[in-house]
Amino acid sequence: MTVFSVNVKWGKEMYPGIELDTAEPPMVFKAQLFALTGVQPHRQKIMLKGATIKDETWNGVKLKDGATVLMMGSKEEDVPVEPTEKTAFVEDMTEAERNTALELPVGIKNLGNTCYLNAVIQCLKTVPELHSSVTEFKPKPPGREGESSSNLLTLAVDSGSLLTLAIQECYRTMDSGKTAVPLVLVNLFRTTFPRFAEQGEQGMYMQQDASECWNELTRLLMQEVPSKDAEKTDKKFASSLIDQYFSGEYSCEWKCIESEEEGVTHNTDKFQQLMCHINQDVKYLHTGLMAKMEEHIDKRSPVLDRDAKYVKKSKISRLPAYLTVVMVRFFYKEKGAVNAKILKDVKFPINLDVYELCTPELQKKLQPIREKYKDMDDRKLEEDKAKRRGKPISEDKKPKTKKLPYSFEDDLGSNNSGYYQLQAVLTHQGRSSSSGHYVSWVRWRGDDWLKCDDDEVTPVTEEEILRLSGGGDWHCAYILLYGPRVLEVLDEDEKQPAAEEVKMETE
């Protein structure tokens, strides 16, 4: 027997009938208690009959149904703060403390071939809507409608909610300026997705594919994190926040090239990623994305009553606010039985325009906002010209601007322009997806970027980001995350300087 029903005593509180599974490490049980009490796992001390239970194993712990487990620990907000701040010297600080003092974000500790998970977590953290929803996440206790809250507390919290809470703890720790040590997250991730718990001959956990990790985590978050203002979103994309902000839609046309009698058929497909397949003709991201819009596929023909060749032409009919692009760099190589890597250099832009990939109907909807971007770019071009001439426009002469929403009014979470700005890159260094090293590179402030190599976070330039396009054994872009490009328009509520005044400043 591995599953027990125990009572947990925490201070004056008693939680009866909590499910405890000894087939899972104690850290998973701590995550359950975190969901119930709000006490983070690293602050918990679990005792049974005076003996402290370790994080890694239940060995030596004698359990039975109805046993009372004592939990000690307080919520972070309950911990008293020292009244005075001690003087700290930079040379005496840890790297995390230096990052805090210099206002640099912190990273995530590698717990042994967990860089693939760390890199995904860091990239997803750059999406403000997802970051805030995860940090505010509260699991819905399972149970039948009408049950009292006290009864609900006695039921086990599902693994998806526990894993989301583990991501929450990781983000909250990082937001507080401390390096995250994701013991709970890693344990729960491997428990929830056993194929990521593969071990080598020496018993060490093996490296895993970051793209597969990305897919599993976004699928899980789709189940756990609800949408924002669902009534303002197209109902096809209102089921969850991931669906709302990361999902797009293809409008597809199918034509059988082996039968003139079979008519053209149409359908729609959802997507959460655009795929850039790399071959000898693909030198730029845009080329790879365009090539994917027309494919030759074998499928069964109802007219010929056999498999036949079809041409599938796709156009995007709904653009998500956040566009994930996967550079298909790995292919299965029978010799050696590994996912070998394509090292070819494929250039990608900082600013991406996907207008050409869209249906004519969507292009027409995008056009009014695109005109406003043109006005903004022309305005900034004039300002740059003046600056290069040594006559920058003074702040009091610059037109007042305001930011406009990046989504259509009736579809929150969409993109209303087709313009995107790169905000995170996940790279791989090595020759196969199951070896080497993964790193995330994230936009920080304006045009400033950070290299997040596990718990080592360092500033980098935009030029260094563009050098991640491949072509050698250096880091190669594997996943690109594009966010909405911000649109600033003239604020009609503010008094604007006369047009000729601004023009004179640039001359």
Q: What are phi and psi of 344, to 5 degrees?
A: -55, 145
How remote is the C-alpha of 54 from its chain's centroid?
A: 32
Cβ–Cβ < 8 Å for 108, 182: yes
Cβ–Cβ < 8 Å for 460, 441: yes
Beta partners for residue 404, in sequence order: 487
Residue from 42, 131, 277, 437 carrying the catalytic annotation: 437
Q: What are phi and psi of 127, to 5 degrees?
A: -90, 105
Q: Helix count (H) and strand count (E) of the chain?
A: 13, 21
DSSP 401-468: EEEEPSSBTTBTTB-SSSEEEEEEEEEEESSBTTSSEEEEEEE-STT-EEEEETTEEEEE-HHHHHGG
Please name which of 9, 26, 28, 8 lies closest in space to residue 17, comparing C-alpha atoms: 8
Active-site annotation holds for 115: yes
Cβ–Cβ < 8 Å for 320, 246: yes
CA-only gyration radius of the chain, Å: 27
Active-site annotation holds for 42: no
- SS3 letters for 86-123? CCCCHHHCCHHHHHHHCCCCCCECCCCCCHHHHHHHHH
Angle between the 115-124 and 210-224 helix axes, to the nearest 10 degrees? 50
Residue from 115, 123, 256, 276 carrying the catalytic annotation: 115
Question: 438 is written with which tokens?
Answer: 């993964």
Q: How far apart are CA 432 and CA 428, in angstroms?
A: 9
Residues classed as catalytic: 115, 437
